[in-house]
Structure 1
């Protein structure tokens, strides 16, 4: 075989993607013929976390990753600092904007990204170790393709890891042996059938996606045994990077992130639900990608679009594809510098307020 053997395989993948995009295009265009208004609920006039009417606009943005049509607003409560999407997506809107992100056209790309984060997964599992010896059953809510559970088994080899998710990835994870059992659905709906079954429940970058975080927390309490542990990791809207980078801060992730709560708010709510917070971490859960992601999003915004079935116009031709490649090639030095700066800043992210996430571990009393 020659050294050019991978080229046909790459071309084959591109051709297969083009066929899948073309097959979806008529459906998306028919769906968008009447605009995006029906994807949004009426605008709220009060904070969904504390009920205050003192709201201000924190951010206006668009879908910077998939480039699906629509504009999105994040409001901030001036009393409790809760940040939330307003107006929020309806069930129909959530289905539209999630489609082809974690599954479908995006399944292979996202599955590959999540599969490489073993260091972060190990850190999450080890944060529980000082507080439990060998949990019998662990439920990972929002498990995606089950990659965390696969890695956490190295830390807790005798634990049975189950996963729950809305996407078909949870079924693939069970078939691939990453999960003992995969549940497809929502935690509040499935909680009565799982009541008191688990010693540990984890929610990694899940709560910000939920339409009602309070219901999710109450459901987590329901499936935990008395003395069980709830491990939560979410983006930190009070990160200095959130203000420094504005709409280019990746954890805003519109339109998917519906609620972003400060750590103090979540600690207080857990206490009200009968939990005792055992651990709060800021530096450890920080993902050093803020500057790199912002740089990539900027380049992607100015470059010609990749082919996608929800975009108007004809599929990109050879010239547009070449121009897109040229933009990213020209931006490669900036991407490399941003990645280096991310790594340098990560050493003190927890102390300097740059951490883009925080982690809480709480015990159900």
Structure 2
């Protein structure tokens, strides 16, 4: 009860600032629409998906276009710097920090699996930079796999500074990776980007920064959502990896392999089943329930929902528990063993060596 009162007070305190942002209109949150593909410059682009913010439920409608020539999917129109600040605010930090820290902190087995993906290629890297590290939970888990490795973290939020204070990373870099890359040149045996590239406004610039930070003979480890997953079509807007409006680019694996080769990397491993996170059906059911239910209190709402609406939300979510349990069982036991064979892996992972 005390935590609920504290959260309500925090929401109320944030409401005036959000109200001022929204009163000024949302047009400034969006750049002009592109007429060409940002990956290959083709003009053959068309609408792939129309959706809303299904996680925070902040106002706005978001469009994803697909290139008919290279298959690249991208947000169009893309968020501006003001838009990125607005939609990221209180998601990973601020109001959402505790929730996201709990979510990421409980995924140790997945993080260890990511670190183990490097073992066949470099069993004892001395230095590792995790780009987009958030609160540093990957680095903390990876130390159990590679106890002799020094792990640094880079992120543009204050989560990376928290990671340093908590001892999850040895050194924290806060800022944009391309801007920091010159001081990191050839410093790292491994640079990792786990579900980071899709958030970037310019993936090619991020890849060039990675090439600069990895020493010759070192490795770049990338994991991103797979836009060619059959789940992307089967689940439509309820497919969690779309994650609008945060995810700006979805790169087919052939495109990324080709770009890495052009930058001077050799791709030494491609993994799909190992990168799959078995949550697609569970997340789809939850997103649909949460979308249908009355909103919970949030500072971007004009006022706090009344008792009747809160009770209706609780009742609907409770009624959805059997569906959530069923979806979880299907994800973990029916689909996961065959996910790659039937094209349902929701992510892929590449390991590339700098030549």
The SS at the match of 2:258 is helix
* Residue 256 (1) aligns with residue 246 (2): yes
Shift of 1:262: 0.4
* Residue pairs, 1:129-208, within 5 angstroms: 129-208=119-198
The SS at the match of 2:198 is helix
Structure 1 equivalent of residue 339 of structure 2: 349
* Residue 117 (1) aligns with residue 94 (2): no
> Structure 1: which 4+ aligned runs deviate by more than 4 Å?
none
CA distance in 1, matches of 2:222, 2:30: 28
CA distance in 1, matches of 2:142, 2:21: 41
* Residue 80 (1) aligns with residue 64 (2): no
CA distance in 2, matches of 1:160, 1:50: 37
Shift of 1:140: 0.1
Post-superposition Cα deviations, 1:340-363, rounded to whole Å, max 9, x if no partner, equal 111120111111110000000000
* TM-score normalised by the chain length of structure 2: 0.99
Shift of 1:134: 1.1
Post-superposition Cα deviations, 1:187-231, rounded to whole Å, max 9, x if no partner, equal 100000111110000000000000000000000010111001000
Shift of 1:317: 2.2
* TM-score normalised by the chain length of structure 1: 0.96
Post-superposition Cα deviations, 1:93-139, rounded to whole Å, max 9, x if no partner, equal 00000000000010000000000111110110001001112111100
CA distance in 1, matches of 2:29, 2:123: 46
CA distance in 2, matches of 1:363, 1:14: 49
* Residue 267 (1) aligns with residue 257 (2): yes
CA distance in 2, matches of 1:133, 1:262: 29
Structure 1 equivalent of residue 322 of structure 2: 333
CA distance in 2, matches of 1:229, 1:98: 30
Q: Any stretches of 5+ residues in structure 1 without a counterpart?
A: 1-10
Structure 2 equivalent of residue 63 of structure 1: 53
The SS at the match of 2:235 is helix
The SS at the match of 1:352 is coil
CA distance in 2, matches of 1:246, 1:156: 39
Alignment equivalent of 2:310, drawn from 321, 324, 344: 321
RMSD: 0.6
* Residue 362 (1) aligns with residue 352 (2): yes
CA distance in 1, matches of 2:341, 2:175: 38
Shift of 1:322: 1.4
Q: Any stretches of 5+ residues in structure 2 without a counterpart?
A: none
Structure 2 equivalent of residue 220 of structure 1: 210
Length, aligned pairs only: 354
Alignment equivalent of 2:20, drawn from 30, 36, 54: 30
The SS at the match of 2:288 is helix
Alignment equivalent of 1:211, drawn from 182, 185, 201: 201
